[in-house]
């Protein structure tokens, strides 16, 4: 299965370039890497992806970053065919789950209708098939509405349903492994400890307003902000995450950076308004948020010790 990507010519000077030109230059970098016929340099791909991935290339890049596609392209067609056949043979029937997925997808489509990123006629069937297939293969995992939000970026960015499944399976497995390794209550407790230390006034304000911290913090930490961020922000954040090998450990510091960024706005709100904002975050410059998250991580390393900070929460 050959790549449909093609180079758009030589790169002009990178000095004093406009945002649109920088975007075009970045696209050329990705195209050049993806067009390699023998071997994809995933390390270089990760380096490029840390600054965001062009929309039209995101799905292809994510497959390599998540390890769904192999860097060695010598058996590319055979490997893709094997993934296709494997997915085709999975039982995708689950009446109870299908009904629940359909309801959550309809709510998701209604909420994101203005973004126009999904076809409301074809997308629901893809969500149902992928999520039912995953749960049928993992009987120990129960359906949760968050699975729809976690699946959505892959439905948006992937052309083939079996690619959606492969990437969704990989990410949910990573999240489940993380949950097994560290109890969510322990992660929330550590996160709140950092929150109280870094943003004491905001933390105290939340307590004064009797905000249910467990409600939003649990969702933020469990689901990589899939339920809370606007889609464009989520896609950019996941570009950065998938470019890292430790994104699960890094994620809590992004959450802290978001709180820091929204601090002034949050302190002007009452309980119900705070809750609404935390569960439906506004648009933000996610690359700036990520940059601030690195600073926060460094600060925590200084305060708590590098070993604690490197483990995240």
In whole angstroms, give the CA distance from residue 218 to residue 241: 19
Phi first, then psi, for residue 118 (nearest 5°) are -130, 145
Q: What are the DSSP calls for 31-60, one per residue?
A: HHHHT-SSB--HHHHHHHHTT---GGGHHH
Residues 6+ apart with CB under 8 A from 183: none
Say if CB 271 and CB 211 are below 8 A apart. Answer: yes
Answer yes or no: is pLDDT of 10 > 90: no
Q: How much is the pTM?
A: 0.89
At 252-262, the pLDDT tens digits run 999 999 999 99
Say if CB 120 and CB 152 are below 8 A apart. Answer: no
Answer yes or no: is pLDDT of 228 > 60: yes
Answer yes or no: is pLDDT of 50 > 80: yes
Say how many C-beta atoms besides its own lie within 10 A of residue 190's C-beta.
18
pLDDT category of residue 280 using cuts at 50, 70 and 90? very high
In whole angstroms, give the CA distance from residue 271 to residue 211: 6
- Cβ neighbourhood burial of 184 (10 Å; 0-12, 13-18, 19+): middle
At 52-96, the pLDDT tens digits run 999 999 999 999 999 999 999 999 999 999 999 999 999 999 999
pLDDT category of residue 308 using cuts at 50, 70 and 90? low
Predicted local confidence at residue 237, as pLDDT: 98
Answer yes or no: is pLDDT of 13 > 80: no
- Look-up: residue for tokens 């992660």? 187
pLDDT category of residue 182 using cuts at 50, 70 and 90? confident
CA angle 22, 24, 27 (to 5 degrees): 110
């Amino acid at each position: 299965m050959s790549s449909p990507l093609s180079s758009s010519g030589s790169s002009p000077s990178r000095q004093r370039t406009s945002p649109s030109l920088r975007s075009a230059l970045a696209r050329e970098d990705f195209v050049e890497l993806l067009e390699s016929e023998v071997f994809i340099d995933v390390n270089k791909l990760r380096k490029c992806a840390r600054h965001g991935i062009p929309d039209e290339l995101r799905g292809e890049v994510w497959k390599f970053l998540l390890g769904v596609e192999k860097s060695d392209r010598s058996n590319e067609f055979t490997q893709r065919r094997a993934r296709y056949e494997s997915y085709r043979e999975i039982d995708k029937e689950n009446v109870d789950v299908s009904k629940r997925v359909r309801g959550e997808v309809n709510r998701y489509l209604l909420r994101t209708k203005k973004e126009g990123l999904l076809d409301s006629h074809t997308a629901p069937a893809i969500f149902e098939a992928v999520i039912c297939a995953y749960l049928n293969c993992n009987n120990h995992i129960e359906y949760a509405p968050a699975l729809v939000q976690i699946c959505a970026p892959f439905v948006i960015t992937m052309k083939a349903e079996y690619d959606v499944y492969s990437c969704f399976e990989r990410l949910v497995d990573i999240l489940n492994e993380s949950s097994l390794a560290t109890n969510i209550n322990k992660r929330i407790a550590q996160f709140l400890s950092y929150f109280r230390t870094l943003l004491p006034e905001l933390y105290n304000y939340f307590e004064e307003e009797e905000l249910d911290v467990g409600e939003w913090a649990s969702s933020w930490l469990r689901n990589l902000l899939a339920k809370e961020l606007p889609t464009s922000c989520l896609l950019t954040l996941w570009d950065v995450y998938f470019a890292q090998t430790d994104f699960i450990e890094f994620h809590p510091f992004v959450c802290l950076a978001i709180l820091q960024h929204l601090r002034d706005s949050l302190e002007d709100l009452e309980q119900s308004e705070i809750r609404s904002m935390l569960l439906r975050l506004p648009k933000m410059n996610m690359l700036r948020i990520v940059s601030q998250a690195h600073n926060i991580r460094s600060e925590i390393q200084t305060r708590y010790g590098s070993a604690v900070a490197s483990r995240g929460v």
